[in-house]
Structure 1
């Protein structure tokens, strides 16, 4: 049996990460971990308040590691804004013996990105999505290593998912 895969789907809010990740999960059967869902569950069940800092990510790293160690491939969807989070995802996959495909989802059309930010339903009960101003001001470090970049501006969801599945099939990671 081939080793499991960890597909990390990151990028700024409203670029299409969740939509792409959900469709990728449907097509591949991989487990789908969404940081927004994890964080909202933590907020509902504890006295903690937003922002949670690294809490949601740390929970997701451990859940992903458990799944990967049992041979289940995982899609982890999150902003993944810093080198420390990117390194932690890579370390999680490597420690579990998984192949890791790092993917950055971008929307190169600022008007389209803003439209999405202002009109989207985040799909997570209780989640108050960031405003356009918060997205633009958000800390998001440039990537310093290879990754698959998927630009969703003018690209249908299915085509974006196909780019990721092609990279998985080609084992280019």
Structure 2
């Protein structure tokens, strides 16, 4: 199964998806880590990134899904194009896909998180609140499950997802 987490920066995607990966022993793919590695390599500049990080993640996800592993993708996944690509990866590997959107309905809390969090990837530049609120993020019509991180802790969120996985 492919589980794709989507949502704006600082809503809690990484916290929840990483915890789920730990509890399920899934392969964990984080677009921020991939993109920072590409930048650090010196082969690509941040301004030239485009979809490169996503394309790397798609390939690694496909390989692991074909091996029968559960894969968790942690990404903003802001547009239909990237959402369709994840669906295609699942189809190509004969895997189910679960699209989970994380939101933070409390804008004050969302801003607090954005302004107080620390980068956990070396040299990674976290987006500023002013960038987050202007971020392109199309309505996600492929959501199977939505979690409001202002209403649920990371542990509660993961437990809800695990319960859902047992029903699939």
Q: TM bucket by the smaller chain?
A: over 0.9
Tell me if 1:151 matches 2:148: yes
Shift of 1:122: 2.9
Tell me if 1:63 matches 2:66: no
Tell me if 1:115 matches 2:101: no
SS class of match (1:22): helix
Distance in 1 (CA, whole Å) between partners of 2:61 and 2:92 is: 11
Distance in 1 (CA, whole Å) between partners of 2:34 and 2:107 is: 28
Shift of 1:145: 3.3
Aligned counterparts, 1:6-155, within 5 A = 6-51=2-47, 52-155=49-152
1:11-61 superposed Cα distances (whole Å, 9 cap, x missing partner): 000000000011001110001000000001000113321141100000000
Indicate the residue corresponding to 1:162 in structure 2.
159
Distance in 2 (CA, whole Å) between partners of 1:146 and 1:14 is: 19
Q: Give unmatched runs, 5+ long, in structure 2.
A: none
Tell me how many residue pairs correspond in the alignment: 167
SS class of match (1:165): helix
Q: Give unmatched runs, 5+ long, in structure 1.
A: none
Structure 1 residues 138 and 22, CA gap change in structure 2 (3 angstroms):
same
SS class of match (1:101): strand
Shift of 1:165: 1.2
Distance in 1 (CA, whole Å) between partners of 2:163 and 2:123 is: 35
Distance in 2 (CA, whole Å) between partners of 1:148 and 1:98 is: 18
Instruction: Report runs of 4+ in structure 1 exceeding 4 Å deviation.
Output: none
